[in-house]
Structure 1
Amino acid sequence: MKLNKEIKNRIDQYFENITPEELYFKAIGYGFKEEVDIEIDNQSFKNVGQNFYCSNSDTSLDANDMESLLLAT
């Protein structure tokens, strides 16, 4: 599924502005299972970094511009 730039920006803003706690409770509300039987005592953890995907080309469509939309005939 290809998204236009406006929708991509809205999704990015949503995840930039939601706290981990809010996201956790939303996920549980949508039916994700909470695993509470994990033993984490005396284990070391690494910090997780951010990874970004950057496409080599812009494949978005401007839904406001009928010329840029492919239409079946």
Structure 2
Amino acid sequence: MKLNKEIKNRIDQYFDGIESEELYSIAFGKYGFIENIDFEIDNQSFDKVGQNFYCPNSDNSLDTNDMESLLLAA
């Protein structure tokens, strides 16, 4: 699914402003995610988690106000 710039910006702002604890609470409380804690982590090493960003090489957004830019199904 391709998003226009306005929707993408709104999604980015939402995730920029939410704390991990709040996102966890929403995922499990509101959307019914199931927490699986049945695994053993003793005596295991872990790598540090880094932050990755998706940066597209081109702008694939659509102008929904311009009918010529929209793909039409037959």
Q: Flag whether TM exceeds 0.5 (same fold).
A: yes
Secondary structure class of the residue paired with 1:7 = helix
Distance (whole Å) between structure 2 residues aligned to residue 70 and residue 43 of structure 1? 51
Query: Are residue 18 (structure 1) and residue 18 (structure 2) matched?
Result: yes
Partner residue in 2 for 1:50: 51
> Gaps spanning 5+ residues in structure 2: where?
none
Give 1:49 shift: 1.2
TM-score (norm 1): 0.76
Give 1:7 shift: 0.6
Partner residue in 1 for 2:32: 31
> Gaps spanning 5+ residues in structure 1: where?
none
Secondary structure class of the residue paired with 2:7 = helix
**Which structure ranks higher in relative contact order (CA pairs < 8 Å, sequence separation ≥ 6)?**
1
- Equivalent residue letter for 1:28: F
Partner residue in 1 for 2:5: 5
TM-score (norm 2): 0.75
Secondary structure class of the residue paired with 1:11 = helix
